[in-house]
Amino acid sequence: MTPLSSLQARVHRFWQRRSLWHWPLLPLSALVYWYTERKRRRYQHANLNKPSSKTPVIVVGNLIVGGAGKTPVTLALLHQLRAHGYTPGVISRGYGANIGAAPHASAHSKAASYLGDEPALIAQTTHTPVVVHPQRVLALQSMNAHFPEVDVVVSDDGLQHRQLARNVEIIVQDQRGLGNGWVLPAGPLRESPKVLAQADLVITQGVGPNSLTTASHFSEVRMYLWPIRFYSLHQPDYSVQADEALTHWKDSKLAAAAAIGQPQRFFEMLRQFGFSLTQQLALPDHYDYATPPFGAVHADYIFITAKDAVKCRDLNDPRLWVVEAESVFSTPDWYQAVLSKLPPPTP
């Protein structure tokens, strides 16, 4: 674990409880709460009185700071939208990409340096039109201009970007729930927890099959990620199916690395799958891999996430294998809560 990722882990643990150490931060949290509530109500009222986008917008976001599993939900949602006749597009902030005044748009796979790691993953795995810009309204306008065939737009993140009018809100949370229930900086919440009750759908991501039966605050749908395939980063055609993986690597020394919001969730998934990991390398979220971090990893194979894979393709390390995982939902027709709020797809 790097010093930065170790600090991030300590901060998240601090936010899971309430203590006297939090008290000095409460006045700042009260100010953040007031500001975010005022902003939310102002734009909520404004959006009721202005024309909606020519394409409906679905926002997938989270209340809590740090990765809660938005992108896997976005990928699963894109699959269902296509299966039901829609032509979806995705807008996102494009974290890590060098974006100027104009949004970056792509109808095909692009590098993480152009789109950001998560949008690049979405573009490469789904071949969905993607537009990125910190101002989501500009990204939406660019989507409408460049991809007129798109009849529904999914905003990967952007729950707090209230300037963006939306038809559907999906909030994704994980096992941390609401933490200690306070907004930043005394707690992990970006805005009031009352927003949960106003969402169209709340999805809680756990780890492993047992998480589907775990009760969650405000959540009617639970999910987890589970490996379905492993493939060599530098030889993608060389792959191992999930049902063969434990036998295939039974005599190998295995490690795992992840530069995601909650890397321990990735490691725990691999452990529950049945792997014994000799090393776990937790890197800061959105780590750019400009400096290869694997020199100190002593293993025959290193498992990485699909999100990290889009930034590691130029690394000359044949030990890197990508874990391809699928989302498993407690409610098979979870997406109906979204489809019911959308107009029919464009013929």
Annotated binding site for ATP: which residue ranges?
Answer: 64-71
The label of the residue with tokens 């939900």 reads 73
8 Å CB contact between 180 and 15:
yes
8 Å CB contact between 139 and 55:
no
CA distance 54 to 152: 9
Other beta carbons within 10 angstroms of residue 43's beta carbon come to: 16
Residues 6+ apart with CB under 8 A from 113: 96, 97, 98
Nearest CA to 294 out of 233, 238, 242, 231 is that of 233
CA torsion angle for 20, 22, 26, 27 (degrees, to 10)? 80
8 Å CB contact between 23 and 182:
no
Question: In degrees, to the nearest 5, what angle opens at C-alpha 146 toward C-alphas 140 and 147?
Answer: 85
8 Å CB contact between 60 and 157:
yes
Helix (H) or strand (E) holding 266: helix 263-273
Residues 6+ apart with CB under 8 A from 18: 180, 181, 182
List, as residue ranges, the binding site. 64-71
Backbone angles phi, psi at 279, to 5 degrees: -145, 150
The DSSP letter of residue 66 is S
